[in-house]
Amino acid sequence: MASQFRTLKVSNEKYEPEGLRFAVVRSKHLKGRGDVTLFIPPQIKKIDRHVPIVILLHGVYGSHWAWTYSINVHRIATRLMEEGRIPPMVLVMPSDGLLGDGSGYFQHADKDYEKWIVKDVVSMTKEVVPYSGSGQKIFIAGLSMGGYGALRLMAKYPLIFSGASGLSSITSLKDFLPFLSREEQRYFRETFGDEELITYLKKNKKKLPPFRLDCGTGDKLIKSNRFLHQQLEAAGIPHTYNEFDGGHNNEYWTANIDKTLMYFSGL
């Protein structure tokens, strides 16, 4: 089957470490190339069925390799599969498009980092991954900026995803700005001042798939996560909210990403 992309380069399976696959795809929404790391567990080669796909979005300053080489997610997933706690699932870890310190996974004037995820990454995965097709479930999760992106994209495009999870999520634009340069802060404030996560969640509340969020009790974003939890409860929007020990760092995400994967396995 011919690719829908002008160019799609995929790593050689003979040289791929620990089930990790790497792809570079020409994206019309990025107006250039985008990088993606995928984790394809060996079990799926023995299973003649569609397997769940989990899209993982990184935070500010990061890129497609952050989930594997900073958080060790592929080994965590492998352990959970070997223990029978989750079924085989494919992890898809794209870059955010690499705008400045972080794109926010927004649609910008000349590049659409939002549709890069919900259209290009989803379509690319179906071309690259064995046994993928139109029938499998697609989940989305992220940390920090990626948590905001995952929850916002789930809320804006609820029919694409079967579930979502945000870890240590930025929950509003005001929490995003301190991570950015002064020039970027002005731009984001002027361009995305009305892009509040709760607005999309309320707008599509009857269509939302199951979703969860968690945050560390030592995280500077804990107050905002608690406030979002309160807003969701007040709006009557079902969700799962948890707090765990830890701060806004790789140690917290390494310790707690298993909760997200197990949550998705139950949906």
Highest average pLDDT, of 23-27, 190-194, 195-199, comes from 23-27
Section 37-61 average pLDDT: 85
Amino acid sitting at position 59: G
Query: Per residue in 216-225, pLDDT tens?
Result: 999 999 999 9
Measured at the alpha carbon of residue 72, what is the angle toward residues 131 and 8, in degrees to the nearest 5? 45
Distances (CA, A) of 43 to 50, 65, 77, 253: 12, 22, 12, 25
Average pLDDT score, the chain: 92
Q: Which residue has the higher pLDDT, 6 or 216?
A: 216
Amino acid sitting at position 143: L
Section 93-110 average pLDDT: 87
Region of 205 (left: φ > 0; alpha: ψ -120 to 50; beta: rest) is: alpha
Q: What domains, with CATH codes, occur in the chain?
A: 8-265 (3.40.50.1820)
In this predicted structure, the answer to whether residue 241 has a pLDDT above a threshold of 70 is yes
Query: Per residue in 149-196, pLDDT tens?
Result: 999 999 999 999 999 999 999 998 889 888 888 888 888 888 887 788
Distances (CA, A) of 33 to 23, 27, 109, 127, 245: 10, 6, 17, 16, 38
Query: Per residue in 75-91, pLDDT tens?
Result: 999 999 999 999 999 99
